[in-house]
């Protein structure tokens, strides 16, 4: 349901953040500073967040549909 999708989204975000920490070692902008920087336009940032969240939801729904179809055909 929606709670599961929300949890998966936050887990994916955590994994990306940890990956960014590893990749930013030795760069000009420290990771903590890069994360704390706000985007220039919050409207665009929120719109990108909604698009990514909706895309993840669509992918999970499509995957669930395919699994349900395989189960029907297996019976």
pLDDT in tens, 20-75: 777 666 666 565 565 656 667 778 778 878 888 888 888 889 999 999 999 999 88
CA–CA distance, 35 with 14 (Å, rounded to integer): 12
Report the pLDDT value the prediction gives residue 69, as an integer from 0 to 100.
93
Domain boundaries, the chain: 2-74
């Amino acid at each position: 349901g929606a709670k599961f999708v929300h949890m998966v989204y936050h887990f994916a975000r955590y994994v990306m953040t940890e990956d960014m920490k590893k990749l930013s070692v030795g760069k000009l902008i420290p990771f903590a500073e890069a994360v704390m920087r706000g985007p220039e336009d919050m409207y665009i940032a929120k719109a990108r967040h909604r698009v990514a969240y909706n895309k993840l939801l669509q992918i999970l729904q499509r995957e669930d549909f395919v699994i349900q179809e395989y189960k029907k055909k297996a019976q």
